[in-house]
Amino acid sequence: MLLLLDNCEHVIDSVAQVVTQLLRAAPNLRVIATSREPLAVPGEHVVPVPPLALPDEDGRASVEQLQQNEAVMLFAERAAAASGSFELSGANQVTVVRLCRRLDGLPLAIELAAVRTRVLTVEQILERLSDRFGLLTGGARVALPRHQTLRNTIDWSYELLTAVEQTVLRRLGVFAGRFTLEDVGGVCTFEDVLASEVLEVLSSLVDKSLVTKEDVDGVACYRLHETMREYASVKSRAADEEVRLAERCLEYYRTTCTSAAAGARYCLPEWLLWAEMEIDNIRAVLQDCVARRDSARGLDIAASMRYYWITHGTTESLGWLDQFAGSGEASPQTQVGAFYLRGWLSVLQANPVAARPWLARAVAVARDSQQLAQLAESLAMSANVEHMLGDAAGAGRLLEEAEAIAVDLCDYVATIEVLQARTVHAFFGADMATATAASSEGVRLSREAGDLYVLEFMLRNLGTVAMLGGDLAAAKARLSEALRVARQIDQRFAEYFLLSGFGSHAASSGQARRAARLFGAAASVGAGAGADNRGPHAPFLAEAKESATRALGEAKLGAEFDAGKRLSRQAAVRLALDEPEDGKVVASHGAETGPLAKREVEVAQLVAEGLSNKQVAARLVISERTVATHVGHILDKLGFNSRAQIGGWLSSDL
């Protein structure tokens, strides 16, 4: 016999006792119990029921593809039933995707939003989601009261919590993104919540499905769905804790970011993992600093994220720094770091005119406050800028001063920045011997220090020297090692420069088609990072592009360039490194499947047999949500619009 016990959370202890007694008396009995938390009885197997699968937010899916997505399918069906006229179309698909994502794939929220299509457009519903608890009402009259409005549903769960669980849950609303156990302890433990209680309370909230746990490269982190976060914020305001929580969160992240920044360059993979995990919270804190006009602490935080900004992109970082850089209350150490970083980011954008005044400010503050290592660093970067502006003599004077300061300091940072400036000086002066010597020393020092950021660009320097000298084999070896390092730390600026370098290498090797594709990939990566290349290597790159154009002609070069632009960053890096595509595997019928990964091949074969997503999930023992994601990727990679086309593709001679 199968016994189904539905919605057990409000009588969880009694249900656990009854189930235990029944199973003892009837060993062949099977029980399915639905609840927001496990029964915690012997023999229990927990099967999480996730929210509905969400569509990708990139907007590339077609209407037909979206109609296969769980969340969109539910919204479209319920909206059509509620209004009698709704239809998913090219005109509303982007808004529907955004709406489903904002509603976290929660079925009740999607159904209540769909009901509103009787009187509102999808665009109007999306605009009103800032007050989702006032908007998402009007469930079926015959439904239980707690299912008639979104607020009632969450209230039902909230009221079943203990007092300390309620307190922690409402305080978790202060986090804009993922958070760790340490974050909760640092921000949410005051007054009636003790640090020693955090693990147990958070575990209970996860068990009750009110907090979601995620694993990010072996690190456990947590998050609230947007709906639950808004609910927590409402409760926090009602408890008059909102201001205090915001202050604790701001100070916690200021302290955490600044303390971690000092050693970040020597453990970049780990630090960048932490930064990527916390970046939504950090952005929210920076925005809070803007609202408070707290430029001093805002600058502390923005400057401390130096290696995140210079690996991931310039656009966002320039915005934060420009808003806070006028603070006269920031410490001299913060000011020097922020001004230097602001100039450095302009250099990465190939905008030396903008970089010059920022670096001049960094030099002035470092000199006045006797920060000698930072002074040498700022002078060295200023020398690079003067070269970009065509003032070789001015660059030489700045480099000489930086060298004179660094030689007496025995400081790694000052030394390595001087070596890089010396390399740039040598490139502009066509002195390849000095460029080789300085970069080789830079490689040695950065390897010893574990400084992957510096190691990458020193290897890149050596690869460029080899290419300029005609040693294509050595150039490829150095550039390949540099690109692998860049990939390890997700260094997007370096990937842009290196893809350009590989394009030049291909052109010099007589591989014009490959060169054009790599140049296109570089352009796409550079645009995403906000980078440009107008340094000493720019003429060489221009010559390589002209060579590829002569070999292919404008039309063919344009087609290959565009094909390169369409590559993902990961695919572009694999192309440069001559690594096989993820999906160069062989299907069971013996045909090479081109761009599909092994699991995608398995999914494609079952789709071709006519199986639904649910049936595919059962066959492969994966979630239906995962199947939907695979199907979307298959359609996208193959350029198809329907599941039927997948079957035709598999049956054809590839």
Quick one: average pLDDT of 572-598?
61
Assess contact for 650 and 605: CB atoms under 8 A. Answer: yes
The pLDDT of residue 593 is above 70: no
Q: Are residues 33 and 135 in the same domain?
A: no
Task: Read off the pLDDT band of 600 (50, 70, 90).
Answer: confident
Q: Are residues 495 and 534 in the same domain?
A: yes
Residue 394 amino acid letter: G
Assess contact for 501 and 472: CB atoms under 8 A. Answer: no
Q: Are residues 574 and 467 in the same domain?
A: yes
Is the residue at 367 inside a domain?
A: no
487: Cβ contacts below 8 Å, ≥ 6 apart: 495, 573
Per-residue pLDDT reduced to its tens digit, 154-169? 888 889 999 999 999 9
Per-residue pLDDT reduced to its tens digit, 368-420? 999 999 999 999 999 999 999 999 999 999 999 999 999 989 899 999 999 99
Q: Are residues 464 and 538 in the same domain?
A: yes
Structural domain total, the chain? 4
Return the pLDDT at 140: 53
* Longest alpha-carbon distance in the chain: 93
Is the residue at 245 inside a domain?
A: no
Return the pLDDT at 174: 96
DSSP string, 168-236: HHHHHTT-SS-B-HHHHHHHS-STT--GGGHHHHHHHHHHTTSSEEEEETTEEEEE--HHHHHHHHHHH
Quick one: average pLDDT of 262-270?
91
Is the residue at 641 inside a domain?
A: yes
| Inter-CA distances, 483 with 366, 500, 505, 514, 640, Å | 34, 11, 14, 17, 33
Is the residue at 504 inside a domain?
A: yes
The pLDDT of residue 558 is above 70: yes
The pLDDT of residue 543 is above 90: no
Return the pLDDT at 20: 95
Domain boundary among 132, 151, 170: 151
CATH number at residue 621: 1.10.10.10
189: Cβ contacts below 8 Å, ≥ 6 apart: 195, 197, 198
Per-residue pLDDT reduced to its tens digit, 287-325? 999 999 999 999 999 999 999 999 987 778 999 999 998
Q: Are residues 42 and 70 in the same domain?
A: no
Return the pLDDT at 637: 66
Instruction: Tell me the three state secondary structure of residue 30.
Output: strand
Which tokens hold the place of 568? 């993902």
Q: Are residues 563 and 617 in the same domain?
A: no
Return the pLDDT at 591: 37
Is the residue at 223 inside a domain?
A: no
CATH number at residue 534: 1.25.40.10
The pLDDT of residue 598 is above 70: no
Task: Read off the pLDDT band of 227 (50, 70, 90).
Answer: confident
603: Cβ contacts below 8 Å, ≥ 6 apart: 616, 620, 627, 630, 631, 634
Element holding 264 (H helix, E strand): none
Return the pLDDT at 400: 96
Residue 212 φ then ψ, to 5°: -100, 130
Domain boundary among 114, 129, 151: 151
| Inter-CA distances, 12 with 7, 17, 157, 160, 408, Å | 9, 9, 13, 11, 71
The Cα–Cα gap between 78 and 113 comes to 9
Return the pLDDT at 584: 41
Is the residue at 4 inside a domain?
A: yes
The pLDDT of residue 585 is above 50: no
Q: Are residues 70 and 112 in the same domain?
A: yes
Return the pLDDT at 534: 64
Return the pLDDT at 328: 78
Strands 2-5 and 30-33, sheet pairing: parallel
The pLDDT of residue 652 is above 70: no
The Cα–Cα gap between 233 and 449 comes to 45
Domain boundary among 151, 175, 204: 151
The pLDDT of residue 275 is above 50: yes
Return the pLDDT at 9: 86
Question: What is the residue-averaged pLDDT of the chain?
Answer: 88
Q: Are residues 67 and 92 in the same domain?
A: yes
The Cα–Cα gap between 485 and 456 comes to 6
Assess contact for 103 and 54: CB atoms under 8 A. Answer: no
Return the pLDDT at 138: 62
Question: Which domain does 630 fall in, by range?
Answer: 598-651
Is the residue at 83 inside a domain?
A: yes
Is the residue at 406 inside a domain?
A: no
Angle, helices 332-348/295-304, rounded to nearest 10 degrees: 50
The Cα–Cα gap between 134 and 150 comes to 9
The pLDDT of residue 458 is above 80: yes
The Cα–Cα gap between 385 and 397 comes to 12
Quick one: average pLDDT of 463-492?
92
Share of the chain above pLDDT 90, in %: 57
Q: Are residues 37 and 87 in the same domain?
A: no
Q: Are residues 446 and 497 in the same domain?
A: yes
The Cα–Cα gap between 284 and 328 comes to 23
The pLDDT of residue 327 is above 80: no
Assess contact for 280 and 178: CB atoms under 8 A. Answer: yes
Share of the chain above pLDDT 70, in %: 92
Q: Are residues 548 and 609 in the same domain?
A: no
Return the pLDDT at 143: 52
Quick one: average pLDDT of 503-519?
91
Q: Are residues 13 and 124 in the same domain?
A: no
